A and B are shown apart, each in its own frame.
Chain A
Amino acid sequence: MRDYPVLPFLLAAALVPVVGRRVGGWLVLGAPVVALAQVAAAGTGRSLTVEYYGYQLTPMRLDELSLPFVVVFVVAAFLAGLFGWTTLGTRERVTALITAGAAVGVVLAGDLLTLFVMWELKAVATTVLITASGAAGAASAGRYLMAHLVGGSLLLGGVLWHLAAVGSLDFGDLTGSPGAALVLLAVLLAAAAPPLHAWLPDAYPSASVTGTVVLAAFTTKAAVYALVRGFSGLDVLVPVGVVMALYGVVYAVLEDDLRRLLSYHIVSQVGFMVAAVGVAGPAAANGATAHAVAHILYKGLLLMGAGAVIMATGRSRLSELGGLGRRMPLVFTCTVIGALSISGLPLFSGFVSKELAVDAVRGTDLGWAVQALKVASVGTFLSVGLKLVWFSFGGPDRGLRPTRLPASVLVALVVGAALNVLIGLRPGLLYDLLPHAVAFQPFVAKQVADTLQLLGLTALVFVWLRDRVRPSPGLSLDVDWVVRGLPLLVRSRLAAARPAGGWSAPVQAVRDRTRRLADTAAAAVIDRVPAATPSTTALGGVLLAALGVVLVRSVLP
């Protein structure tokens, strides 16, 4: 148990409140380093099993699929800790550590019970992390928690159903399991698949700037891991992924808030991964995993860049920003690297991962999906590579005077940018981590020409229609309006339609009428059946109890 990579995170989280601020910062940085050393020492094939009430649980199963996720989670935890070295409070440090540890626990879980426990631990820790930013964060955290409690309940229901039907808690391919639908719904909710996605653009921008970096790294990517592990080759995931990819960019083009725009892009980018998971075979698993790894790195970089802008200017809306490129050259350069990575420009990380994911779909007869994903790529470059970069760092100087940023913020940005360039230049570093051998070559004329056409023409359209893309202040209603807005409107309409004497008179009239009808029906039935004797009542009770036993027995193994 000593080499379980979750423990350093949980131990550090327990120590942070009782040590000083400086030591706490070192603990936040040290935990991922220790976890990475444990993973390197253990190597793939290492597992831990424990006996729990007759069930064989596997809290740790480090294999070829879990390895890339563990490594990138650990790297993301380190970068987030570095970025928030001076800004993270104790509560955020503790919850960030627990979140990272739980996410590592999810991808190491070899059984469904451990998966559920880590899943819920992550949900609770991230909720508290969101609340750390104040009142606005608390409201979003409440909605976030509700969404994830629903997801957790679905997951638990699916796990119990699977256990009852199969008699095993092993976490492997779940596609044939009777409980699979519930587990899939829970995982798609955590992956932010529309219409189960609204918690993401609501909650992520409400956290602190470092909190958003932590949130973006773990929740949706742990869900992608669960999809690759349990639902690889499930056809329905291709259209679900394509819808996600397009939905996210459509909203991102409209968005004004820096972090909300990037949050919608998480939905879109996770869509690429989900679509790849829907295609069977090792290439698809490789594509989804590679894109998850690269996405954590470039999205972390972009959110750190956005966070640096917010920290330095106090503004988060593109309509209030502009001309920061000359005043924040390092942040500008790193953000551009993140933007080019997410846009999939050759020589950056997104190109080598996105092409691998799209290639998995390209290898099938799903031509429509490939074209739709190309449109999503266009939207990505349009909204992040061009709109976000131009309207925050380019454009007219709005006279903003950014404050000096802590050195740790700049170091984290540079390290993040370096990783994205490194993977872009040496894709083998990423491909060697993947669960299956990679035969794919990213730098061939066809793919490079394809990408340059997509990005070049998008850039031309941006130059042509830039005034139309110009961000304007506002809020885009999403499906969460159904729970946040609609009940208030219905309540208001009901109040307006209230009769002069209140609702009691018409309600009483309906109640009396119903009672009379029920009495008439009961009298008609009683006239036709003999009176129940004590023995028939007892027999009925016994039969009901037997039915209950049968039901319980069918659920339990």
Chain B
Amino acid sequence: MRSRGVIVLIGVLVLAVATDVAVSSSPPGLTAVTALLGAVALILFSKGVLKALIRRPVDYYERLWATHGPGGAPRA
């Protein structure tokens, strides 16, 4: 089922790229390259670099308040 979906998707894509090449005045394939690189870059950047930098536990601010806030235990 999934592989059939991927085949249909690839068929649509081939058709779209062919249409783009036929009718586009801009460099043909620019949109396809933008989409491919954009999608991969977004996933790798968000789930790689950014995740490591900014992702914290769901209760991050509650914990921070408990350990560093007024009445909390200040860290040495």
Interface residues of A (CB under 8 A from B): 249-251, 253-254, 371, 374-375, 378-379, 382, 445-446, 448-450, 452-463, 465, 468-469, 473-478, 484-485, 488-489, 491-492, 495-496
Contact = CB atoms under 8 A, between A and B. Distances in A.
Nearest to B29: A453
B42 A457 contact: no
B25 to A, nearest CB: 8
B31 A374 contact: yes
Interface string B1-39: 010001001101101110110111000001110111011
Given A374-B38, A488-B65, A492-B68, A468 B43 contact: yes
Contacts of A371: 30, 34
Contacts of A454: 31, 34-35
Contacts of B68: 488-489, 491-492
A378 B42 contact: yes
A382 B42 contact: yes
Contact of A465 (B38, B40, B60): B40
Contacts of A475: 55-61
A469 B67 CA distance: 32
10 contacts: A254-B46, A374-B34, A382-B42, A448-B19, A449-B23, A454-B31, A457-B13, A457-B39, A462-B39, A488-B68
A519 to B, nearest CB: 38
Contact of A474 (B10, B56, B75, B76): B56
A76 to B, nearest CB: 30
Contact of B16 (A449, A476, A495): A449
Contacts of B44: 468
Nearest to B42: A379
Contacts of A455: 35
Contacts of B61: 475, 484-485
A452 B12 contact: yes
Contacts of B36: 457, 461
- Band of interface residues on B: 35 or more
B38 A460 contact: no
Contact residues of B: prevailing secondary structure:
helix
B47 A468 contact: yes
Contact of B35 (A445, A458, A477): A458
A458 B23 CA distance: 22
Nearest to B18: A449
Contact of B43 (A253, A456, A485, A492): A253
A468 B50 CA distance: 13
Nearest to A464: B40
Given A475-B55, A475-B56, 17 more contacts: A250-B45, A254-B47, A254-B54, A374-B38, A375-B38, A382-B43, A445-B23, A446-B23, A457-B13, A458-B39, A459-B9, A461-B40, A474-B58, A478-B54, A488-B68, A488-B69, A496-B76
A378 B65 CA distance: 38
A173 to B, nearest CB: 33
Nearest to A480: B61
Contacts of B23: 445-446, 449
Contacts of A249: 42
B43 A473 contact: no
A308 to B, nearest CB: 23
Nearest to B56: A475
Given A449-B16, A458-B39, A473 B58 contact: yes
Contacts of B2: 463
A108 B67 CA distance: 49
A488 B68 CA distance: 6
A382 B44 CA distance: 13
A276 B34 CA distance: 20
Given A495-B74, A496-B74, A496-B75, A449 B51 contact: no
A491 B46 CA distance: 31
B13 A453 contact: yes
Nearest to B45: A250
A476 B54 contact: yes
B16 A250 contact: no
Nearest to A491: B68
